[in-house]
Each structure stands twice: as structure tokens, then as C-alpha cells.
A and B are shown apart, each in its own frame.
Chain A
Amino acid sequence: MPANSATITTRLVVRRNNVPQLIKFIQEQTRTAVDETAFDIQTDAAQMAPRDTGSLAASIYINNGDESDYTQRVAVAESLNRDVVILERIDPEFVISLSGGPDASYGSVVGVAAAHGIFQELGTRFQPPQPFMIGAAEVARDDFEARMSRVASI
């Protein structure tokens, strides 16, 4: 060792490991942010949806994997329009995720049970679109980013 050098030894003692609690906290906060955003999208989409019988707006549901209002929404939609064609419920695990699989992500589906929703949303060659889902999601984007930026705030 050169004469003008010194050795510094650092000793790190972990007395309390709060990392598991922190991970749990962030997961809960994330879940809340996703659930709140899904509710906002559902509410806005229902307001923006074109109305004839009202069944389309009534059929917009949320499914976060643990809870879903699909059954209630479908019942209301069918009560408003007996002829409405109902699609199967979409579960979050069937939504393509790029974030590393079901253990690494939490997702919530905002879906439209009425089968004619897609024609209203995107239009057809002779029918202009009357979008309600994409518009609602776009409006919610900034709020979602703001909520997610706070998930680690203690």
C-alpha cells in the first residue's frame, strides 16, 4: 500500500427491513390508482356514449379480477333493451400485458357488454363513429399518470 493512502471500512447493519411493507404499500397504492381511473373511465364513457335506449351506456362495466359489476350492468342493459346482444365478460388476465406477467402487474378492464358498442365506437364505412371509450380513456390519461407518480409517496 502506498504511504499516502488509507483504507476506509464501512459497516452496514440492517436493524429493520421495511422493504416488504414498502412493496405492499406501493402495490396497494397502485391498485387504488388503477381502480379510481377505471371508475373515471366508466363514468365518462357512460356519459359520452350515444343514446337510443340507453342500453349501451348502461352496459359499460369494470372487472378488476376480484370484483366486477358486469352482471348488474348487463341486467340494466337488458331491461332497457330486450334485443341487446351481450358479449362475454372480459377478464384482466386475458388482456395482453407487456409488464411482465400476472404477478408483476395489476389491471382492470373497462369493457362494453353491448355487442353493438364497437360499431358506435369505430363506425363503419357508411356510419360515422360516435366514440365514447377512447375519448374517456384519453381524458383519464393525465390523471392516471399523476396518480401513479404518487404511489410511492409516504
Chain B
Amino acid sequence: MSADLSRVDQWLMNMMHGDLALSTAVSGRVYGDMAPQGSTMPLVLFSYLGGADKVVTFRTRVTNAIYLIRAVSGGSSYNAIEAIADRIDEVLSALPDQGTIVRDIRISSCIREQPHQRKDMENGVPTVYLGGFYRIKYQPLAVV
């Protein structure tokens, strides 16, 4: 099993899409990697940025994955997406102590390591981003 990141993507999508407050705030617009062209804002984006495996025994490993998870909106004020970014953190911090199982992996922790705040300009039109870099640790349930 090597496509384990797709399980993490699925968990993130289910957690954020399934949260009524968050999903309502962005009208269900939660996307992996990028939004479809012409999407209405605000929206939520999550992207895998990097990671590494740690070999625990010769049969098991733990993976550290860094995800950038952020709310996005047009305009130059962060106020419009402040509540959305807060809700993202609340939803992802609600992981139980024993972790959660997604198909054949156990996600054991999801912790924000660094805040993210950014403003881009495209053709003179500003876009604001607010969220954080999250470290997600998980391991396969079965031996690898």
C-alpha cells in the first residue's frame, strides 16, 4: 500500500465537508490542491506539501505529512475568512486520542505547526489566504 496520501486526502475532505458550520460557510466548496476555474469564493483548499516515512520496525512505518490547509477569499481583508480558518482548526483538532481509521490507515495526530497568512494579487485583484501548515501523522493498519 503506497497510495496512503489519498486516504489522508479523503479524511480531510470528509472532516471539512462533513462539518455543517464549515461547509455552510463556504457552501460546500472544499477542494484538494486547487479550485476549479471560476469557482466562487470563499472556499477551502488543502494541499500536501511534503513528508517523510520513519521506519519503526522492518514491517511498520509512521508517516509525517505536511499539509497546507487554508481558507481563500477575494478582497484584501482577512476578516471575511477569519471564522472559516478558525473552524478549520477546530474541526481538525477534534481528532480523538486513539486516532481515527480511514480505510487501511490510522491517522494518529493532526497538529498545526505554523500559521499561514498570505495576500496575492492577480491582475490587480487581491486574494487572501488564512490557515496553517498541519503535520498529520499516520501509519498503515496492516504490515507493509
Hey, which bits of chain A sit against chain B, CB under 8 A?
A: 119, 121-129, 131, 134-139, 141-142
Contact = CB atoms under 8 A, between A and B. Distances in A.
B50 A128 contact: no
Contacts of B56: none
A118 to B, nearest CB: 8
Contacts of A136: 50
B68 interface: yes
Nearest to B70: A122
A125 B52 contact: no
A138 B45 CA distance: 21
Interface of B: 33-35, 37, 39, 41, 43, 45, 47-52, 54, 64, 66, 68, 72, 118, 120, 122, 127
Nearest to A48: B50
Contacts of B122: 124
Contacts of B49: 121-122, 129, 131, 134-135
Given A122-B47, A139-B52, 7 more contacts: A124-B122, A125-B39, A126-B35, A126-B39, A134-B66, A138-B66, A142-B52
B72 A135 contact: no
A137 B52 CA distance: 10
A138 B52 contact: yes
Contacts of B48: 131
Contacts of B37: 126
Contacts of A121: 49
A128 B47 contact: yes
A58 B67 CA distance: 26
B47 A123 contact: yes
